[in-house]
Amino acid sequence: MRYSAFSLLRQGLAGHAGWQQAWRSPPLQPRYDAVVVGGGGHGLAAAYYLARVHGVRRVAVLERGWLGGGNTGRNTTIVRSNYFFPESVALYDFALRQYEQLSEELNFNIMLSQRGMLCLGHSEHDMEMMARAVNAMQINGIDTELLDAAQVRAELPLANFTADARYPIHGGFVQRRGGIARHDAVAWGYARAADALGVDIVQNCEVLDFIITGGRIAGVRTSRGDVAAGAVGLSPSGHSGVLAAKAGFRLPITSYALQAMVSEPVKPVLHMVAMSWATGMYVSQSDKGELVFGAGLDLYPSYAQRGNLPTTQAIVAAMLEIFPAFRRLKMLRQWAGIVDVPWDYSPILGPSPVANLYLNCGWGTGGFKATPAGGYFLAHAMATGRHHPISAPFDLGRFSTGALIDEAAGAGIAH
């Protein structure tokens, strides 16, 4: 069934009784040509591109919980491509360009809102670093502009411009194509489109181990039985290290809790995504009116999806220093997801140390914006056995050659 204004009207008049299920819940088959582990946005996108771009017939996505219940359903939905290094720009802008036409391609409204993302500079030193970053981004073809304090004030009148502000605002920079999208819709849109191409999405199916014969991955052992597989792709985000260990290798990754929270909904008060480099705090207002905000990682490894109080406190404090008017708002929810962070804050893509096993991990704190790219390049690697030119610099081998893509230092990374 195609979604359109007309189908909405027709179903509305018929009491909404005629909507069909968006995807099937098929039984697990004993053999597939390609198996993707992890039913987040990335894994679902990989399955979709395997079927659509590469014509792979029997594809399965195996998800241990429910579809999109990992970081895909827990992130703060910021999309942007204002990265520092050319390799990163090629990757993240590929994703943003896909997002710009994805609602149409998938026939599912992902509610992309390119409202602009504005980063605040709190000192002259911040402003010098921002000028450097903006120059690099412009050379790479990214739509960024440096702003002075008056220009920032015109965009964010509620920010703290008083003389005694704890974080004085000296200026900032903006990417106008940045913004937010609906995270669940991205997962659901890819799931529905993949299902329509015959992909089996199997939920409540945990991959427990790998079947390895002659040094090659031949399949996976799951909580629902064994599955033989042509190629296996890993897209398990926070659990990348757990699955790598089952396949017999270690990754340059540490898993941490990243938390976020929302306030009660209010009328429109903030029309852009605002982010503060010095504190890591960022905030946007959802279409429902809630202020959605977060900042940095909890400071030690964790697989507990909740987040600790000292970090919550630091995030709230930074937000209220920069937007004092939000002091009166009640907090509605706080949560965390487990993110897989590599040393250079860039993802790890492509072939793994074990033949026939491909990686799409290490997206850490910032992979929602890259969902179409992660899926596209994982599908490419699984179907061809090789890197796409855009994913090649992100190979695991960079940790041996030393060719790291250090976005932690380059872009002052945030989500």
Partner 1 sequence: MLLIECPWCGARDEPEFTYGGEPAVRPGPATEVGDAEWTGYLYLRGNEKGAHRELWCHSAGCGQWFVMERDTVTHATIAVVRR
Nearest distance in Å: CB 63, ligand FAD: 5
Angle at 361 between CA 358 and CA 365, to 5 degrees: 170
* Closest to ligand FAD by CB, 243 or 319: 243
Residue 254 binds which one of partner 1, ligand FAD, none, with CB within 5 to 8 A depending on kind? partner 1
Query: For residues 80 and 96, is the Cβ–Cβ distance under 8 A?
Result: yes
Distance of CA 21 to the CA centre of its chain: 26
Residue 339 binds which one of partner 1, ligand FAD, none, with CB within 5 to 8 A depending on kind? ligand FAD
* Closest to partner 1 by CB, 50 or 361: 361
Q: Any idea what DSSP says for residue 355? A: B
> Helix or strand or coil: residue 341?
strand
**One of 237, 263, 346, 391 touching ligand FAD (CB under 6 A):** 237
* Closest to partner 1 by CB, 158 or 314: 314
- Residue 204: count of CB within 10 angstroms of its CB: 12
Nearest distance in Å: CB 255, partner 1: 6
Strand order in the sheet with 331-342: 144-148, 171-175, 117-121, 273-276, 282-285, 291-301, 253-263, 331-342
* Terminal Cα-to-Cα distance of the chain (whole angstroms): 35
74 binds ligand FAD (CB under 6 A): yes
72 binds ligand FAD (CB under 6 A): yes
**One of 285, 302, 365, 391 touching ligand FAD (CB under 6 A):** 365
**One of 130, 194, 258, 319 touching ligand FAD (CB under 6 A):** 258
* Closest to partner 1 by CB, 165 or 314: 314
Q: Which residues contact 291 (CB under 8 A, 6 or more apart)?
A: 262, 263, 266, 269, 270, 283, 284, 285, 326, 329
Token pair of 314, please? 């630091």
Count residues contacting ligand FAD (CB under 6 A)? 40
**One of 22, 28, 69, 111 touching ligand FAD (CB under 6 A):** 69
Residue 35, beta-bridge partner list: 60, 232
What distance in Å separates the CA atoms of residue 254 and residue 196, rounded to the nearest whole number?
36
Residue 41 binds which one of ligand FAD, partner 1, none, with CB within 5 to 8 A depending on kind? ligand FAD
* Closest to ligand FAD by CB, 94 or 368: 368
- Residue 192: count of CB within 10 angstroms of its CB: 20
What distance in Å separates the CA atoms of residue 298 and residue 314, rounded to the nearest whole number?
10
120 binds ligand FAD (CB under 6 A): no
Query: For residues 116 and 173, is the Cβ–Cβ distance under 8 A?
Result: no
**One of 171, 178, 233, 236 touching ligand FAD (CB under 6 A):** 236
Residue 365 binds which one of ligand FAD, partner 1, none, with CB within 5 to 8 A depending on kind? ligand FAD
**One of 32, 34, 35, 42 touching ligand FAD (CB under 6 A):** 42
Binding site for ligand FAD (CB under 6 A): 37-43, 62-65, 69-72, 74-78, 206-207, 235-237, 239, 243, 258-260, 294, 337, 339, 363, 365-369, 415
